[in-house]
Every structure is written in C-alpha cells, then in structure tokens.
Structure 1
C-alpha cells in the first residue's frame, strides 16, 4: 500500500488527461516499481483558470467571446467527468478519431480507446481524484480550430493545492464541428526545467 501511494503521488496531469503507465487498448499494464520519495515541494495555490485569448489574433477578434465560453464549458465537463471517474463521458468530449498522449508516452487512440484507457486509470489508480487547471492560454489559428495550453495538476483525496513537483503542462487541440467544440488531440508533459537534479526526468520506470 505504501508503494501504491508513492506511485500515485508522482502521476501529474496538467489540467486534463492522465498519465500513467502502459498502453490501455490491450491487456492490463504491468506493475510499476516503487519510486523513491522526493523532497516535499512548495504548494501551489489552485486558482480558477481564465481562458485568455492571444492578443491580436484576428480569429479571436471575430469569434473569441462565444467560442471561449464554449471552450470553458468543455473544460468544465471534462473536469466533472474526471471527478466522477467516468471514462465514457470523458471520451465523449473528444472527436471519434482523437489522440491522447500522456506524459509517460502512452498513446490512447480514438474515442473508444480513450474511454477504455481512462476508465482503467480511474478504476485502478485515480479514484477520488480531481484535476485542477492553474493557467490557460487559448488562440485560434483558424475560426474552427483552437490551440489551448494549460498548466495544472491532479489533486488526490484530501489535497487542495498543487505542488511544484506535480505540475504539468499540456497542449489541447480543439475543433468546432457542426457548431460544437471537441478535443481532437492532447499532449501532456511534466514540468522539469533544465537544471533539475541529475536523473530526475519525471518519468516512471516500467517493469516487464
């Protein structure tokens, strides 16, 4: 049980999808070796994210207000699905051909694959957790295409703030089809600035 807690606390998510070990479109992932504890990091207050549009973007000027509101609603539905541990509802916010790449390099493909993978994560590792978005920047390269960069973390039961070691940054690509915004691509990366202690890559070791 002690090893499980260590593993859980070292799995960050930047506002969205998570990011454990193993490809979940096939057999269950192998067990993960215990990771040594790291020194406690300062807490980072969890503040509501504001969807800030990139200044001077023509597409933002034309479409920003209504689209930003829709993207905020999409993010809220995503956070709610996560908190309920509902992989199907979480995946429903993505296009049928969407890709989710986790910080450990797992690649969940298609809406069905995202649903199965996320449900496995929720059932196995992430029960009772919730995601927090700390910062968010949105730009519209095209009227029906949004690039969203967020920072955030996963909060475990009883936690109310992110720690610096748990922060990650993710890029979300959303598309508007038939008037509805959906995510079509997601990439998450743990925040490990250059100059971090040697050997601290942020990656969890695999076994098997």
Structure 2
C-alpha cells in the first residue's frame, strides 16, 4: 500500500512538472480567446479612428466670414447708416491685431475698458484692464511669443448708439503662413462701448474653441441644431 501510494504521488508530481501534460488543451482556448479579443480591439480602434477622421473631414463650415471688417454691413434698426461708427469699431479691431503682433501687452490692454472682462477658449476669465494686461504680458513673452492674430468677421450688430457686438472667427499663428478662413478654429464675440471721451473700447471678449467633430455628430444626430447659415 505504501509503495503504491508513493508511486501515485510520484506520478502526480511528474504530471504537475510537465507543462505539456493534460493542462495544455485548456490553455489553447484561452490563447485563442486572447488573440480574438486583441484582433477585435485593433479592428474597433481602426473603425473608430477612421470614423473620427471622416467626421473631422466632413465638418467644414460654410459661413466663413469676411476678411475686411469695413466691408461688413452693420445690422439692427438704422445701423446701416452708421458707417462712421462701424469704421471706428473696425479700427479698434485692427489695433487689437497690430498690438498683439508687436507683443505690446500695454497697448493691447488700452483697447479695453477699465472694467472689461476677458474669457479665453480654455475657460480662464479675467476681470479688469490690469488683469488683461498682466496675463498678456506673460502670454506674449511666453508660449505665444512672436505669434500673430488672424480672423474674419461674421457680423457687426449695434445694440444701441453706443454699444456694438462684433462676431467673428479667429486664431493665432506664427511665421508667414497665415491660416485660411476655413482653418480658423475659434469663434469670438467682442462687445464694444463708446465711452465718455468718444472712444470705442472693448467691454467684454469671449473666445470659444470650435469642436468640429462634436459639432458634426450633433448635426447628424439632431439636424435642427445646425445653424441657418450652415444648412
């Protein structure tokens, strides 16, 4: 009995030490399953990546705006006669581009009212001219050094004789390769007021990053969300 038991134990131990003994059939299905899951993951990633690229490639906008601010016809009752005010407002917008391009944070900030608000596309919210100047000193001498502004104008709407909203598309760039209108990735709303000294200054600025793929998905799933200008 002892020798028989010992022999059985010995056989059992040898079986455990043999990687190809009895357990190998169980391992093969696991390997096949892992391989199948891996292939499925790669296929899904390829489909997902291709879908993303397709959505991005088909998300072009039609309403690109106008390059020249002074060619935009103001809207609101009687606003079409305010070409002098429009030109003055456009002068402020041109000065924004010029002072940014020179890296002149003080000159840039002087175009805003003392209590102006400034909201960036990343969600940073600045209050007051001093806050705007200080932040742009850091930006224009830091990772946005030597950058320039590019933009187009979507509309100029007078809310009153002394208040106007300018909407447009914009972006920053470096070097001489100015982006095309279709490449501008931000939507911008600029509210200007005429102050007591007769000068137009910016009271509020809001910058929004366009999410082209999310916008395209929204238009596909809910067509009524598409703006009139894009239909």
TM-score, normalisation: structure 1: 0.67
Q: What residue is the counterpart of 1:129 in the other structure?
A: 147
Contact persistence 1:50–1:136 (CA under 8 A): no
Bigger Rg over Cα: 2
Provide closer, same or farther for how the CA distance between residues 112 and 166 of structure 1 changes in structure 2, counting only shifts above 3 A: same
- In terms of fraction of residues, the more helix-rich structure is 2
Provide closer, same or farther for how the CA distance between residues 195 and 136 of structure 1 changes in structure 2, counting only shifts above 3 A: closer
Q: Distance in 2 between matches of 1:89 and 1:196?
A: 41
Find the partner of 2:126 among 100, 105, 108.
108
Matched, 1:53 2:73: yes
CA RMSD of aligned residues (A): 2.9
Instruction: Please state how far the C-alpha of 1:152 moved relative to its aligned partner.
Output: 1.8
Which has the bigger relative contact order, CA under 8 A and spacing at least 6? 1
Single out whichever of 81-90 and 125-134 deviates more from structure 2: 125-134
Q: Distance in 2 between matches of 1:61 and 1:182?
A: 21
Q: What residue is the counterpart of 1:92 in the other structure?
A: 110
Contact persistence 1:97–1:111 (CA under 8 A): yes
- In terms of fraction of residues, the more strand-rich structure is 1
1:35-89 Cα shifts (integer Å, max 9, x gaps):
xxx98989x999733342344x224145x11111101111111111000111111
Aligned length: 158
Q: Distance in 2 between matches of 1:167 and 1:108?
A: 21
Q: What residue is the counterpart of 1:142 in the other structure?
A: 160
Q: Distance in 1 between matches of 2:195 and 2:140?
A: 29
Q: What residue is the counterpart of 1:6 in the other structure?
A: none
Structure 2 gaps of 5+ residues are 1-51, 219-231
Q: Distance in 2 between matches of 1:187 and 1:136?
A: 15
1:1-27 Cα shifts (integer Å, max 9, x gaps):
xxxxxxxxxxxxxxxxxxxxxxxxxxx
